[in-house]
Amino acid sequence: MNERYERGLAKLIEIDGEKGRQVVDSLRDIAPDFGRMIVEFPFGDIYSRPGLDLRTRELATVAALTALGNAAPQLKVHIYAAQNVGCTREEIVETIMQMAVYAGFPAALNGLFAAREVLGPTADSPA
């Protein structure tokens, strides 16, 4: 336990709640040090920095993971996190749609399907 870890763990829980801790725990029987590093570097070093608010940080991550298109589980965690730190459903969906311009329609489509899985269908969608 060190300062970076403590700061990172607090940030991870602020952002992801229990889901974040689950990712770390899931590494315990294959690469426990890597679980510690995820707390320390992304959350203790990067997400804890001033200069960019958490809502924008999460939308930037949703944008990047949608565009890369090869990390579906992590994209879902960050769609959840974006909502958790206060992004609206609309902001998340708009960010993903915009990726059609930069990474193509299939990447955006798969991002939108991930969003529906996490956020649920819209209340006013037709039966």
CA–CA dist 102, 108 (Å, integer): 9
Site residues for a copy of itself, 9-68, by CB under 8 A, read 23, 26-31, 33-34, 37-38, 41-42, 45-47, 49, 51-52, 56-57, 59-68
Q: Is 104 in the site for a copy of itself (CB under 8 A)?
A: yes
From 85, 113, 108, select the one nearest 96 (Cα to Cα).
108
Please report, as a single letter, which amino acid is at residue 20.
Answer: G
CB-side neighbour CA atoms (13 Å) of 64: 8
List of residues contacting a copy of itself (CB under 8 A):
23, 26-31, 33-34, 37-38, 41-42, 45-47, 49, 51-52, 56-57, 59-71, 73-74, 88, 90-91, 93-110, 112-113, 115-116, 119, 121-122, 125-126
